[in-house]
Amino acid sequence: MHEAERTGTASDTAAALETGEGLDRLDEEAVRFTSELIRIDTTNRGGGDGRERPAAEYAAERLSDAGLAPRLLESAPGRANVVARIPGTDPDAPALLVHGHLDVVPAEPSRWSRPPFSGEVADGLVWGRGAVDMKGTVAMVLALVRFWARGGLRPRRDIVVAFTADEEDSAAYGAEWLAREHAELFAGCTEAVGESGGHTVHARAADGTPVRIYPVGAGERGTAWLRLSARGTAGHGSKTNTDNAVSALAAAVARIGAHTWPVRLTPVTRAALDGVAAALGVDAPAAGFDPQRDTDALIDGFGAAAELVRPTVRCSSAPTVLEAGGKVNVVPDRASAGIDGRVLPGAEEEFAATLDELTGDRVQWEYQHRSRPLQSPVDAPVFAAMREALLAFDPGAHVVPVCLTGGTDAKQFAELGIAGYGFSPLRLPPGLDHGALFHGVDERIPVEALRFGARVLDRFLRGPS
C-alpha cells in the first residue's frame, strides 16, 4: 500500500469522495468487478465438489495491483482462499478482519430470466448467481482497496482481507481450514465484519410513515445439521410388520416438524426488539413483558420488519431429507432423515435434550455438522462506527442489531477469539426483497446499492473504529 497522504479521518473520507475522477472509478470498478466475478462459475455443490481458484486468482491479481502481497492458499485442489493485510496508520490499534466468500450455491438456468452466470448489467441491476451472496461485497472491497491505493489512503487499524472457499457448505475447505492451519495470518484481529447485514429494510411506522431500517448482524444461531436413523425388520410389504423402520422414523420426523420451540430472548435479540420497536414507534417490551406469551404479538406488529427478529427468538428444527427403501413391496430394515437445526446462544443443552425426547427410543440421532452460536457486543465502538457510517449516507434511517438466522464464516473466525458482525452495506429500493435474493432465482443487485456500499465501507474502515 502506498504511504498515506492523509490520516483516515471522517473529514478525509468526505474529501476523497468529492474527487470526481476517483469516485467515478470506484463506482465503475465496484460494478465491473461484481459482473466479472459472477461470470466465474464457483458453484459449490457440497461434499467437496467446488472450485473457487479462478475467482481467488482474480481477487489476488486486483489486490496485487493495489500494492498488496496477497496469499493464495489452497486447502485442496481448486479450493482456494485469498488473504492480504493492509497496514494501518496506528500500529498499536487492534486489527480488523473483513471477510467474504467466493463460492455460490447452484443455479438452474432454465428457471432464470437471464443466464445465472452472465453477470449482465441491465435496468440498473447486476444480474447473476452471487450478486448478493456475496460477490457484490467482495467486489466492493476490491474496488475500495484500489481506491485507497490510488489516493495514498490508509485505514487507522490494520485491515486483514480474507476471501474464502466453501462457505456455502461446511467451510471445511475455507474459513475453518484457514483458522486452523493459518491462524498467524489473522494475528491481532479482535473483530470481523462479513455478510448478512447493513442492507435496507423498508417498513412503516405505526402512523404509516415510511421507515428505513438497517439490520447489522451481532449474533448467529448455531448450526446443527442432524442425521436421524431407525432400524427395523425387513420383510414383504403385504405382511404384518410391527417393527417397521420407516414408520418409526416418520413418526419422529413428524414430531420434530410439529414441535414449537420456546422463546429464548438473547441480549442481541432483546436489543433488536427494542431497536425495531423504537424505529416503528411501537411500544417496546416493558416490565410486565412475558416472553412466552407476548413476543409473537409484539413481532406481528412490526409488519415488514418482523422477519428481522421472528426466526431468531427460538431454536428451530426443519426436516429436509428422507431416505428409505427402494421398492414399494419391500419393507426396508433401515431408514434415515436429515434435519436442519439452528440453536440459539445458551440453548445447546436444551436443544439436545429436546431431540432425545422427540426422537424417542426407536430413532437415533447424531450431528452431521455442528457450529456454535455467536453473540458479539452491541455496545462496542466498532458497532457504533458501523451505525455512524450508515447514517452518514442515509441520515433518516435506523440501525439495529440483529441475530442472523443462519450461519456465516464468522463462526470459524470466532475460534480465534474474533468477534463477528454482519455488515455488507447496501441501500436497496422499496420492493426488492433482499432475503428472497439469497439462493433465489434471478439473483440481482442494484448498481446504486454497490456505489452506496463502497462509500459506507470506506467511511467505516478508515474511521476511528
Residues annotated as catalytic are 103, 167
In whole angstroms, give the CA distance from residue 210 to residue 208.
6
Residue 137: closest CA among 37, 242, 245, 222: 37
The number of CA neighbours under 13 Å toward the Cβ of 384 is 5
Q: Which residues contact 306 (CB under 8 A, 6 or more apart)?
A: 299, 300
Residues in the chain: 465
In whole angstroms, give the CA distance from residue 374 to residue 347.
12
Cell numbers found for residue 384: 457504533
Assign residue 128 a region: left if phi > 0, alpha if psi is -120 to 50, beta otherwise? left
364: how many CB neighbours lie within 10 A of its CB?
13
Could you give the C-alpha distances from 17 to 20, 38, 150, 391, in angstroms and in order? 7, 27, 13, 16
Could you give the C-alpha distances from 425 to 171, 404, 428, 440, 456, in angstroms and in order? 23, 15, 10, 20, 7
